[in-house]
Amino acid sequence: MYYLLCTMFLLVGTLTQHGLWSSGASDKNKAMVEQLQRYGVIKSTKVAEVMETIDRGLFVPPGGSPYFDSPMAIGYNATISAPHMHAACLELLEDHLQPGMRALDVGSGTGYLTACFALMVGPEGRAVGVEHIPELVASSTENIKKSAAGPQLSDGSLSIHIADGREGWPELAPYDCIHVGAAAPQIPEALIEQLKPGGRMVIPVGTVFQELKVVDKKLDGTVTVRDETSVRYVPLTSKDAQLQSN
Ligand SMILES: C[S@@+](CC[C@H](N)C(=O)[O-])C[C@H]1O[C@@H](n2cnc3c(N)ncnc32)[C@H](O)[C@@H]1O
C-alpha cells in the first residue's frame, strides 16, 4: 500500500514537472493532504486542516519537490522528513497539541513541524524549535515568516533557538508535547525530565535499526515507552559529527 502511495505522488509530481497538471501550490499541498487521508495516514480533521494551512512548498529548498512523499535534502547533512512522517507524528501528538499547550520540536530543521505545532497550540500556547545548525535556524525562520504561522513568530508564541537539542529547552519546560526529528542512540534523560506529567514525546531511537518510540509520562510521573513503527532518520548527534558525516 505504501509503495502505491509513493507511486501516486511520483505520478502527480511528474505530471506537474511536465506542465500537464496546472494546479497552484496550495492546490498541490491540498492534494498531498487528501492523498494522505485516502491512504489512512491522516485520520484527524484537525491534522488535515493544519497540514493544508501550512504549505509544505514554503519549507523545501528551491528545486525540490515538496509534495512528493519522500524526505529531501536541505543541506548540512539534514533532511526535511517525508509528509507521511510529519502526518504520523501530528496524529500521535494531537491530544498534546491542544490550544494553550506547550510543544518542543527538537531538530526543527526547516521549521515545518514547528509551524504546524504553533497553529495547533495557538497564540496562547508555545511552540519551541531547537536546531543546532545556525543556518537552518535562519532559513527556517524565513520559511515560517512566509507561512500561516508567521504572526506567531511576531507575537512570541513560536520561537526557534540555536542549541543542542539533546538538552531540550529547559527555559520553557515542562512540555505537553515533545517531538524529536532525529534518531537518538537512547532517549535523552533531559527530554524525559522536561516532559510534563500527562505529556507525550515521540522520538526515533536507534542507529542502523530505528524505532519510532512513543513515550508517555503519566500524571503520577511514571513513564511508559512503546514502539510505533520502524523508521529511518538522520542521527541526533553533535553539530561537528553531523557536518563531518557523509
Ligand atoms: C530529519 S532533519 C529535520 C527534521 C524536521 N522535522 C523537518 O522535517 O524539517 C533532523 C534535524 O535534526 C537536527 N539535529 C541533529 N542533531 C541535533 C542536535 N543534537 N540538536 C539540535 N538539532 C539536531 C539536524 O540538523 C536536522 O535539521
Domain borders along the chain are: 70-244
Cis peptide before 62 (omega within 30 of 0): no
CATH of domain 70-244: 3.40.50.150
Cα 99 to middle of ligand 1, angstroms: 25
Task: Evaluate: CB of 110 within 6 angstroms of ligand 1.
Answer: yes
Cα 71 to middle of ligand 1, angstroms: 13
Q: Which residues 6+ apart lie within 8 Å of 22 measured at CB? A: none
**Exposure pattern of 94-114 as b/e (b: 16+ CB <10 Å)?**
bebbeeebbbbbbbbbbbbbb
Instruction: Choose one of 56, 90, 106, 243 to mutate for the ligand 1 pocket test, by most ligand atoms within 8 angstroms of C-beta.
Output: 106
Task: Evaluate: CB of 118 within 6 angstroms of ligand 1.
Answer: no
User: Rounded to the nearest 5°, which phi and psi values hold at 242?
Assistant: -65, -45
Q: pLDDT tens for residues 70-99? A: 999 999 999 999 999 999 999 999 999 999
User: Average of pLDDT values for 111-124?
Assistant: 98
Q: Which amino acid is at 96?
A: H
Rounded distance between C-alpha atoms, residue 117 and residue 218, angstroms: 22
Which residues belong to the active site? Answer: 81
Q: Give the pLDDT band (50/70/90) at residue 117.
A: very high
